[in-house]
Amino acid sequence: MYLRQAWNDPRLAQSDILSEGIRLYDWDKIWVPDTFFRHDLGSWVHHQTVPNKLMRLSKDGDIWYVMK
């Protein structure tokens, strides 16, 4: 399953520094919405040796987060 989320955090807007979006690797330092599935009876996140996550930050503070 792919989980894709997008939101805007104006605190991260750096239009004068960034010419284009950048890829972020330290996910624990960026706020991520606490997503849940309503009426879920049981679920888990499959742990892998390398996390299947992608996070991109655009110059206007838009964040795109993908988790597999």
Could you give the 3-state DSSP secondary structure of residue 8?
A: strand
Q: How confident is the model at residue 4 (pLDDT cuts 50, 70, 90)?
A: very high
Q: What is the pLDDT of residue 18?
A: 61
- Map out the domains of the chain as residue ranges: 3-32+49-67
Q: What's the pLDDT tens digit per position in 7-62? A: 998 988 876 666 677 777 776 778 888 888 888 888 777 777 777 888 888 888 89
CA 63/CA 60 separation, integer angstroms: 9
Contact 34, 1 (CB under 8 A): no
